[in-house]
Amino acid sequence: MSLRINDIAPDFSAETTQGRIRFHDWIGDSWAILFSHPKDFTPVCTTELGYMAKIEPEFSRRHCKLIGLSVDPVESHQAWLRDIEETQGCLPRYPLIGDPDLAVAKLYDMLPADEPGTSEGRTPATNATVRSVFMIGPDKRIKLMLSYPMTTGRNFDEILRVLDSMQLTQASKVATPVNWKPGEDVIIAGSVSDDEARQLFPQGWQAPKPYLRIVKQSAA
């Protein structure tokens, strides 16, 4: 069965570069980003993991943990980390999951169901679907799912923006419009009646249409 937004993120135990974890226990009461890459010692993945290492403090400031995954064993991850630090100028401090039997990749639908059962003999080309991102809330439910093609590095600034949006909308009865950035105007959620909105936003709002009610983020 395919995973969907608001499903409970599948729990699992796995070896990582920082020891064995139980995923839900590792998340604790934090947000979490689980992101996979096709193969260690490949060019696009090297730039991605290096950039995530650079901006990890931004995720930490938002009470969000990072964890990577590929179908390579942990020993391969450990060796590759040195290359990432050398070429990208930053050493990943977040754990990387070793998934050589594809257990987690299949659990999260990162690979087709008929893929072979191990990573032995696999190449980056045969791992083309394994460049995924899952954002998971403290309630252990999936909040966001993204999958990218092999040749396209992900925009992790966008993942950070989505986290900002979700944390804001979780705390306030608002939604964020297209291309929203922190500090910009937000939209009163459609589930909020005008009567309730008057209680929540006594300063009022702009409404070019009755269903499009715009307020300052500071009011949210």
User: CA quadruple 48, 36, 142, 30: dihedral positive or negative?
Assistant: negative
Collapsed DSSP state (helix, strand, coil) of residue 125: helix
Secondary structure E strands in 99-205: 132-136, 142-147, 174-175, 186-188
Domain residue spans of the chain: 13-151, 172-219
pTM of the model: 0.90
- The CATH homologous superfamily of the domain defined by 13-151: Glutaredoxin (3.40.30.10)
pLDDT band at 154 (very low <50, low <70, confident <90, very high): very high
Q: Which residues carry out catalysis? A: 45
Query: What does the mean pLDDT of the chain come to?
Result: 92
- Residues found in the chain: 220
In this prediction, residues 7-12 reach a mean pLDDT of 98
Worst-scoring range by mean pLDDT, 21-35, 40-54, 104-118, 202-216?
Answer: 104-118
Torsion angle, alpha carbons of 42, 75, 135, 129, to 10: 40
Q: Which CATH code, of 3.40.50.720, 3.30.1020.10, 2.40.50.140, 3.90.550.10, is assigned to 172-219?
A: 3.30.1020.10
Cβ neighbours around 150 below 10 Å, total: 16
Q: For 178-191, how does the pLDDT look when each residue is reduced to its tens digit (9 = 90+)?
A: 999 999 999 999 99
Please tell me the predicted confidence (pLDDT) of residue 220: 82
Mean pLDDT value of segment 46-71:
97
Quickly state the pLDDT bin for 122 (edges 50, 70, 90).
low
What's the CA angle centered on 5, arms 94 and 129, to 5 degrees? 60
Q: What is the pLDDT confidence band of residue 21, given thresholds at 50, 70 and 90?
A: very high
Place of tokens 């909308």: 169
10 Å CB burial of residue 114 (0-12, 13-18, 19+) is: exposed
Contact 101, 74 (CB under 8 A): no
For helices 43-61 and 74-88, the axis angle rounded to 10 degrees is: 80
pLDDT, position 111: 75
Count of Cβ atoms closer than 10 Å to residue 117 Cβ: 9
